[in-house]
Amino acid sequence: MAKIGFIGLGIMGKPMAWHLLQSEHTVFLHTRSGIPDDCIANGGIACATPMEVARQADMIITMLPDTPDVEAVLFGENGIAAGLRADSGQLATRRVVIDMSTISPLATRTFASKVNDIGHDYVDAPVSGGDIGAQNAALTIMAGAEKAVFERVKPVLELMGKQVTLIGGNGAGQICKIANQIIVSLTIEAVGEALLFVSRAGADPQKVREALMGGFAGSRVLEVHGKRMIERRFDPGFKIELQQKDLDIVLASASALGIALPNTATVHELYNACIAHDGAKWDNSAIVKMLEKLANHEITKNTE
């Protein structure tokens, strides 16, 4: 039985932590907004600071919005590093920091090096699957770590995900997540274009979606986000402001590598337009709203 810390109980983090609470492990929790009562009722132990979590847990998981948030929780006042250093003189097992946020690969390598320097291990393990995957313990988890460290934490990761893959060393998990976000973002936009075309041409988008799900165009994006677009359900899910943040990381990383990602840049601009229309908190499938504005047509107008 392990002692696991979990920091960040948002839309994704809470259901992920919930699966740990259903296991045999002891779970220490911290989040800025306060630990939900149901988590405490199911055995979670509330901690006032990330430092307190780090002093008690063998594995410390973070699930946070952005790179600066991870840096602050790791290295800020009363952060994880402070908790790890507090016990550095004791003959304790090397602890593992597992960051499951989506952040910069370059920053990830820096964070890993700093954690290694104080005698502990680091895993970057970003996820794909959205809130539904988190709720069903069906996330895809992409890990960057030393092989021995990965093998140590894999059983814990498997409590939250159905596909857990070691991609390479530190930073490789985040590189894989960038590739994931390129594909997902462009596919969401493509589904929006397709359903908009169908509706404007006079066919039933729902029947077309059902037909396409059985062919080569079928995908989880068409299944989940296509349904959201047709039913006009834009409560998150995965917020547009977070999708835009991820694409900021994608495009900054591409720039650093000297490569162009023109279609990704276009999708990024459509998400910028959503935010300009007060859509930061919409689900990322709501990119279709900007396509509809360009076409002066809403998908639902021609549905039966």
Q: Calculate the dihedral angle through the C-alpha atoms of 10, 271, 104, 250, rounding to the nearest 10 degrees.
A: 140
Q: Calculate the dihedral angle through the C-alpha atoms of 186, 175, 239, 284, rounding to the nearest 10 degrees.
A: 10
Phi, psi dihedrals of residue 111, rounded to the nearest 5°: -60, -45
Q: Is 177 among the catalytic positions?
A: yes
Q: Is the dihedral of CA 130, 60, 4, 54 positive or negative?
A: negative
Active-site hit among 3, 147, 154, 177 = 177
The span from the CA of 68 to the CA of 245, in Å, is 12
- The pairs formed by 266-270 with CB atoms below 8 angstroms and a separation of 24 or more are 266/189, 267/185, 267/186, 267/188, 267/189, 268/185, 268/244, 270/189
- Angle between the 105-117 and 67-75 helix axes, to the nearest 10 degrees? 10
Helix (H) or strand (E) holding 244: helix 240-257
Cross-strand partners of 166? 143
Question: Catalytic site residues?
Answer: 177
